[in-house]
Every structure is written in structure tokens, then in C-alpha cells.
């Protein structure tokens, strides 16, 4: 898995659930951890099924990685990316 999409940013969560990605981003930002969503899924309905390897990723600056993992584990049991 590619662990760095943007220089200096690392993947904190990866999956297919766009709602969950936004929820995670909101939790991180509420605790002053910068976060961005990298969405490889096109808005077109069929693209989700044509590109089965496409995912949604939540990224944080690498210096916030440990803090973000701890926060997510405490707030919702999210594990490190393993998809």
C-alpha cells in the first residue's frame, strides 16, 4: 500500500465508506489535527464497481500520526490502516 500520497502526509484511515471518512476527518480536526480526504472514487455510481481497488483515504501530517492513531482508537476503535 502506498503510505504517502502527499509529501509529508500519511494515511491514517482507508476504506470505502465516504461518510466514515468525513466523520474521522471531523474528529481529527476537532482535536486540532489537520486532516485531508483523498478520494479515489469518482462520483459516478458505476466507477465504484469498475475500480474495486479505489478507496477513500484520510491523511494527516506525519508529525501528527501517533496522536491521530491514539485519538481514533480512543474515540471509535479505529485501527491503523490495514485494508
Burial, 19: exposed, middle or buried (Cβ in 10 Å; 0-12, 13-18, 19+)? exposed
pLDDT digits (tens, 9 = 90+) for 66-81: 999 999 999 875 445 5
Please tell me which residue, 54 or 56, carries the higher pLDDT value.
56
- Confidence at residue 52, expressed as pLDDT on a 0 to 100 scale: 61
State the average pLDDT over residues 40-64: 72
| Number of domains the chain contains | 1
Give the global pTM: 0.73
Domain harbouring 34, CATH code? 3.30.70.1530
pLDDT digits (tens, 9 = 90+) for 7-41: 899 999 998 888 999 999 999 999 999 999 988 76
- Let me know if residue 4 belongs to a domain: no
- Alpha-carbon span 51 to 41, nearest angstrom: 8
- Let me know if residue 31 belongs to a domain: yes
- C-alpha separations of 54 from 1, 63, 79 in Å: 12, 26, 20
- Alpha-carbon span 51 to 61, nearest angstrom: 27
Cell of 24: 474521522
Amino acid at each position: 500500500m502506498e503510505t504517502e500520497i502527499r509529501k509529508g502526509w500519511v494515511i491514517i484511515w482507508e476504506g470505502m465508506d465516504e461518510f466514515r471518512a468525513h466523520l474521522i476527518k471531523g474528529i481529527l480536526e476537532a482535536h486540532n489535527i489537520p486532516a485531508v480526504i483523498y478520494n479515489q472514487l469518482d462520483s459516478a455510481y458505476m466507477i465504484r464497481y469498475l475500480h474495486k481497488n479505489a478507496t477513500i483515504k484520510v491523511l494527516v501530517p506525519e508529525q501528527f500520526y501517533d496522536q491521530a492513531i491514539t485519538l481514533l482508537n480512543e474515540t471509535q476503535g479505529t485501527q491503523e490502516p490495514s485494508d
